[in-house]
Amino acid sequence: MAVVKTNGDLKAAGTGRLYVVATPIGNLEDITLRALRVLKEADLIACEDTRQTIKLLSHFDISKRLVSYHEHNEITRAPEIVIELEQGAKVALVSDAGTPTISDPGHRLVALCLRHGIQVVPVPGASAFVAALAGSGMVIEEFVFVGFPPSRPTQRRKVLRTLAEEKRTIALYEAPHRLLDTLEDALEILGNRPAVIAREVTKVYEEFVRGHIEDLVAAVTKKPPRGEITLLIGTADGMATHAGAGAAANPALTIPLARRVDEIMQERSVDRKGALKQAARERGLTKREAYKQLLITRDE
């Protein structure tokens, strides 16, 4: 096992270093003093989109040599950057916004640098899902970040099924035009859990939409969102905590599940399968969990 020590000093002698630099996700004031120093002193800045990075650098009066590094050229560009690093260059890696390698390009370059014995120094800063979690109001002592779910419905649903038993808050990114489909799939597969949509975090039109997944489906149906989306989904057990005295306010949540299924069948003239699905949504349960409870409570 190789152990490499670094003090993060940009001017230290020897082989070059790769600096993984987080940049603002919207508000330019969120850049750190250290990030500005590293960008000013670097020999080369590898960036996802040179046009976006030039805007950032121009705002802070920084002029540097830029090279594009994105998902479509990283196989060939990473070795080229490593050659410069081995010759002593100090390279700053940035993405369009946020922290490189976190749902952004960069992992291949970082891994290649480590294989070549080149030091990799993280320069931490903004990250959309961390900011969204901090402002969500949800229980976040433990969480799992899954990045962007697959765009294809079959694969997306497969991923959601793997999260059905997850007991931690789930954080993911989604494109605005796919958000409704993802919410509807989550409602069916995960149940009606507490959830938050964090939109355009740190930007002018920042918005948090809080509620349960059913509430978010209604909100997105009424007003399709724009911009960058972070979706947070709580656990089924979190429903009672989120609602406070919700159980007392909603007697449907306190009666045995089997009896509630019978009520729904009579009230809505639906079959048992449809009634179970609705009851599961009310209680923030997956269909599997609801079926298990139904077997337990059917004689109560």
pLDDT given for residue 55 in this prediction = 96
pLDDT given for residue 247 in this prediction = 44
- Report how far residue 91's alpha carbon sits from residue 105's, in angstroms, rounded to the nearest whole number: 15
pLDDT given for residue 118 in this prediction = 96
The pairing of strands 143-145 and 169-174 is parallel
Structure tokens at 178: 């796919």
pLDDT given for residue 240 in this prediction = 40
Given a contact cutoff of 8 angstroms between Cβ atoms, the answer to whether 196 and 98 are in contact is no
Using N-to-C axis directions, what is the helix angle for 153-162 and 179-190, rounded to 10°?
A: 40
Q: Is 81 helix (H, G, I), strand (E, B) or coil?
A: helix
- Report how far residue 26's alpha carbon sits from residue 30's, in angstroms, rounded to the nearest whole number: 8
- Report how far residue 113's alpha carbon sits from residue 201's, in angstroms, rounded to the nearest whole number: 32
Beta bridge partner(s), residue 120: 18
pLDDT given for residue 6 in this prediction = 54
- The CA angle 89-92-98, to the nearest 5 degrees, is 170
Helices (H), 197-300: 213-222, 238-243, 246-249, 257-268, 272-283, 287-297
pLDDT given for residue 219 in this prediction = 96
Query: Beta-strand (E) ranges in the chain?
Result: 17-21, 44-47, 66-68, 91-94, 119-123, 143-145, 169-174, 194-199, 207-212, 229-233
- Report how far residue 284's alpha carbon sits from residue 289's, in angstroms, rounded to the nearest whole number: 10
- Report how far residue 175's alpha carbon sits from residue 150's, in angstroms, rounded to the nearest whole number: 11
Between the CA of residue 32 and those of 36, 126, 222, 251, what are the distances in Å?
6, 9, 38, 51
pLDDT given for residue 248 in this prediction = 43
Structure tokens at 177: 């035009």
Average pLDDT of adjacent 10-residue blocks, the chain of 300 residues: 53 76 96 98 97 96 97 95 96 96 94 96 96 94 95 94 92 97 94 95 96 94 95 73 42 71 85 83 72 64
pLDDT given for residue 276 in this prediction = 84
pLDDT given for residue 239 in this prediction = 45
